[in-house]
Amino acid sequence: MAVSVLCGECGRTINAPDKARGKSLKCPDCGNRVPVPAGKVKREKVESVSTSDSSEFLVNMDLDKLEDSSADICPSCGKDFPEEDEICRHCKYDRTAQNVSRTKQRMVAPKGPDKREFFKRLWGDSYGFAFRHMSIVMFTTFLYSLLIPAALYFFFLAYVLPRPTMKGMFYFFMVICLIIPIGWIWNLMIMVIHKTLEKKKAMGKWRFDFAL
């Protein structure tokens, strides 16, 4: 049974025979290489040939001239699949695991950026951000050097004082001293994400609400 493929250059519809599945054909009009997707071929004996234009085209077609035997085509998506590659870069088809279902192949296919490239750029971008925003680095250092020792001091007072009311008050002060640095880091992360989505190269100025 013939399969219809569309030429991406001139837009002509080519009716390719079953034996051309998984290969590529040259368009008779523009000569562009058109991949033919593979599929389950059901061989049937052709009893008669129609006199329509499409049938006449199939009868007179010379597959030896149209077929590009030098091209490696993915049997799943019909796109270029170099012989040295084991996994198709377009649809993640694995030629070494043909008995594995397509669903399983999609589940095990790698997703996201290359890990080596990600971690290499992660540290470089982090140091670059710090050097471009030294005021934020200095403020963060000052905030932690002031509030973390204060939280430890309030914890010590709450631990040594005998009266429950005094203990509760100093424990409250300790919690406040710990919440503010955490809130600052959280707010900074939100602002970095916000500026990144806006494709801004600089943080600019924003107001950090300690009470909030």
pLDDT in tens, 123-168: 778 888 888 888 888 989 999 999 999 999 999 998 888 888 888 9
Identity of the highest mean pLDDT range in 94-98, 111-115, 157-161: 157-161
Query: CB neighbours of 178 closer than 8 A, spacing ≥ 6?
Result: 147, 148, 151
- Specify the DSSP class assigned to residue 18: G
User: Do residues 33 and 71 touch, judged by C-beta distance below 8 A?
Assistant: yes
User: Do residues 25 and 9 touch, judged by C-beta distance below 8 A?
Assistant: no
> Which long-range contacts does 169-176 make (Cβ < 8 Å, 24+ apart)?
none
Does the CA dihedral 163-169-173-178 come out positive or negative? positive
**Euclidean distance between the first and final Cα of the chain, in Å?**
70
Helix (H, G, I), strand (E, B) or coil at 170: helix
Euclidean distance between CA atoms 174 and 152, whole angstroms: 7
User: 53-80, pLDDT tens digit by residue?
Assistant: 555 655 666 655 555 555 577 767 777 7
